[in-house]
Amino acid sequence: MKRLVVLLVSLMMILSVASGAFAENSVTMPQDATAEDSLMLFYDAGMELMFETSNVTLDGHAEFSLDGERFKTADLHYIQNYTNSLYQLKLLTPRRDGTQPDRESGYTIIANGEYVYVIEVIYPGVYKTGTTAAQSTILRRTVQMNLMTDMARLLAGQAENLLGEKVLTVQPDGDGGKELTVVLGEDVPELVNTALNIFYQFAAKRYFKTDYDQISEAHMGSMDNYMTVTEGILYTTKSVSLKRANCVMQVNSLGQAEQLKGDVSLLLHTGRDGDRQMDISFELHVSDRGNSFVGSFDPAEYGVQLIR
């Protein structure tokens, strides 16, 4: 349900791992802080946002391209108000015949405790309802999720194990906070790509129901065999590697995440189509901590009625 959120905050985690994977002299920072302390500040900020923040608003935008052709644009508005939440996702997909406008899809999901109400763009005027476990944070913890975050923290603390000429800059943002700039090129250490694949496969299973332990490379087809580009990527990609990244993350004076933006290029190593390149440009803004509100679902407010 929270795929765009997951993508952006997962990139936070991956970049935090990458940040910790380089020697201390690769980092520019104020003289009163060590490299490890400064880099772990951003890792901790990402973890706090995802798993410990119960009242916050997120606004995000992302564009996805495959081999230079845009295949999806996503706009997100998300509010967490303890066990109430509002998740609005607007998706634009180019039409196969190239005509305009783009095809619109997406949904609005309101959760009031364990009760969930879903309004889909393609079914105007109606909504569906159901139940789920009440959730008071952006992402939920599980045994496997805890393993993922523990692994990320361990990797981030192993700066001495990998060397490189990458440049990471931590500097004051002029407003009491700090800003991390990450610039990675094609010589990304293999340990970072291995971590990236572990997170990618975990997210694919949890949010897209794609279990790579059940997929054989010998039975992979071509991307052209699938109805959508997203399906083609999920079912034909053996592994991914980071080609380049240019990202900026900001935390405020309290060490809380405020913004993440940048551009990332991934190489998709497929079973039949060779290497394909996926480019992602994204931005995520965090606001209204402690002042975000979501009320009880009111069908009249959205002009919808329960689907029969």
21 band by pLDDT with thresholds 50, 70 and 90: very low
Q: Is the dihedral of CA 265, 266, 268, 269 positive or negative?
A: positive
Report pLDDT for 158.
59
Report pLDDT for 6.
54
Residue 14 burial (CB count, 10 A): 25
Q: What is the pLDDT of residues 207-238, one digit of tens each?
A: 888 999 999 999 999 999 999 999 999 999 99
Cα-flanking dihedrals φ and ψ of residue 207, to 5°?
A: -110, -15
26 band by pLDDT with thresholds 50, 70 and 90: very low
| Greater pLDDT, 196 or 271 | 271
Percent of the chain whose pLDDT exceeds 70: 82
pLDDT of 102 over the 60 cut: yes
Q: Poorest-confidence range of 56-60, 158-162, 167-171, 268-272? A: 158-162
Q: What is the pLDDT of residues 252-275, one digit of tens each?
A: 999 999 999 999 999 999 999 999
Residue showing tokens 């993350």: 249
Largest CA distance in the chain: 64
Percent of the chain whose pLDDT exceeds 90: 59
pLDDT of 160 over the 50 cut: no
| Greater pLDDT, 81 or 191 | 81
| Greater pLDDT, 47 or 191 | 47
pLDDT of 25 over the 80 cut: no
Q: What is the pLDDT of residues 134-156, one digit of tens each?
A: 999 998 889 998 998 888 777 76
Residue showing tokens 């772990």: 40
Q: What is the pLDDT of residues 74-85, one digit of tens each?
A: 999 999 999 999
Q: What percent helix, strand, coil does the chain show, rounded to 5?
A: 30, 40, 30
How far is it, in rounded angstroms, from Cα 64 to Cα 279?
Answer: 6
49 band by pLDDT with thresholds 50, 70 and 90: very high
Report pLDDT for 156.
63
How far is it, in rounded angstroms, from Cα 113 to Cα 134?
Answer: 5
Residue 252 burial (CB count, 10 A): 17
Coil, strand or helix: which one is 113?
A: coil
